[in-house]
Amino acid sequence: MQRKKFYLDPPKVLVLGFALIILIGALLLTMPISTTNGQGLSFLNALFTATSATCVTGLVVVDTGTTFTIFGQLVILSMIQIGGLGFMTFATLFAFLIGKRISLKERILLQESLNNLSMEGIVRLARRILIFTAVIELAGAILLTLRFSLDMPLGKAIYFGIFHSISNFNNAGFDLMGEFHSLTSYVDDPIVVLTICSLITLGGIGFIVMNEIYEFRVSKRLSLHTKVVLMTSLFLLVVGTIGVFSFEYANPKTLKPLSFLGKFLGALFQSVTARTAGANTISIGDMTHPSLFLIIILMFIGASPGSTGGGIKTTTFTTLIGAVWSQIRGKEDVIFYRQRIVYETIYKAITVAFSGLFLVVVITMLLTITETGKDFLMILFEATSAFATVGLSMGLTPELSHVGKGLIIFTMFAGRVGPLTIAFAVTMRRNPDAFRYPKGKIMIG
């Protein structure tokens, strides 16, 4: 009876785990050693920063590069790494190091954390995730260090290379460039743009997809999930790049002053970063309304399941498009690559998309009340960015009221762990229905 009373199922463990990491990080950031002024952050600003880092969002109320000491920046970087990979992955790493056997409960938690369909091979997948992460982040850090070393001392270049590699692979978007400038100084730099775009993309496609691509040389096959993720990611990347390039081509505040290559790199970066990364190479507040609305759509869709990114996910978006297209054609089944999508998946996609949309709408409405006098598009952009854990902002974040910060903190947390996970965590344990009601019909459309 007592064990049943205090039973924590996977959703509860994940929610409480993320909350605990955020709280510890917030307390560390309030310490005098964390900030350059020697006073520490206020608890609300520390909580906002810790939530943004752990939920790999990137929205900031204070500038990371100038406000925090090395200690404070390393605290933020640690939260980004733990939040991006998931604390269960790090718990598995610790178990590996001490030679501890991974229990069945821990395997179930890993499966839930990684959003994997099966528990088979989940420990091997966790081990590979750690290896993939170390290799990719190291490669990114080396490339960025080599480029940054042309503009700053070698020691600083190494630190900047490591920080920005980890931040962008985990789709966090935190930067050390100062004065909220992000990477605008490197808008037309091929090395920085292509390196960070690669880091964001690899972190955003998901570790399951990454693992299948790695095993393709042996298996010679890709699962339906991987095919859908790669197809959708490529489609959104192309549409986003073409859209931003077209809408911003003649904008004197963004792409117009750049060469053709610079325009392409600027458009490409904004298309990639809108998929939950948060760094930017052109001023978001100066972009045209069509570009901003396109970025809102890309942010809401987000990255892929089992990745470091947020949003409703690429597979959810594609499943909904497939369901709509099947209805238009008068077909009963949703077919991708000659495989039928089961109804449970379609229902879950609808639930995830509606939950995300409902959260964005409610938070946007509340922010219009708390942030009086602010432009509606700016507020909608901020709410969507927080939900999708993107971190892009039109400049509203540092000006948020105390209540507004609280709303964005909740939105970032809900967006990272997932509205459904929170709902499952706070509800009673679910039991199957003992009976089914007779069918009823209602008119649609």
Q: How far is CA 54 from CA 50, 85, 173, 276, in A?
A: 6, 10, 12, 14
Tokens of 178: 């100062």
- Name the residue with tokens 């509860």: 12
pLDDT for residue 116: 60
The percent of residues in the chain predicted with pLDDT above 90, rounded, is 54
Contact 295, 274 (CB under 8 A): yes
Taking the model in full, what pTM does it have?
0.88
pLDDT digits (tens, 9 = 90+) for 181-237: 889 899 999 999 999 999 999 988 888 888 889 888 888 889 898 999 999 999 999
- The more confidently predicted of residues 107 and 374 is 374
pLDDT for residue 5: 44
pLDDT for residue 178: 79
| Planar angle of CA 69, 71, 72, nearest 5 degrees | 65
Q: Lowest mean pLDDT of 22-26, 90-94, 408-412, name the range.
A: 90-94
3 pLDDT band, cuts 50/70/90, is very low
Taking Cα atoms as reference points, which of 195, 201, 264 lies closest to residue 230?
A: 201
Tell me: pLDDT of 328 over 60.
yes
pLDDT for residue 8: 58
pLDDT digits (tens, 9 = 90+) for 48-91: 999 999 988 889 999 998 999 999 999 999 999 888 876 556 55
Tell me: pLDDT of 29 over 60.
yes
Tell me: pLDDT of 141 over 70.
yes
- The more confidently predicted of residues 111 and 293 is 293
- The more confidently predicted of residues 437 and 330 is 330
pLDDT for residue 6: 43
117 pLDDT band, cuts 50/70/90, is low
Q: Residue 135 burial by CB count (10 A; 0-12/13-18/19+): exposed, middle or buried?
A: exposed
Contact 312, 353 (CB under 8 A): yes
pLDDT for residue 121: 63
Report residue 90: phi and psi, to 5°: -70, -35
User: Rounded distance, CA 197 to CA 169, Å?
Assistant: 9
Tokens of 61: 């109320």
pLDDT for residue 25: 94
- The more confidently predicted of residues 443 and 177 is 177
377 pLDDT band, cuts 50/70/90, is very high
For 235, how many CA atoms within 13 A lie in the half-sphere containing its CB? Answer: 12
Q: Per-domain residue ranges for the chain?
A: 7-426
pLDDT digits (tens, 9 = 90+) for 266-280: 999 999 999 878 889
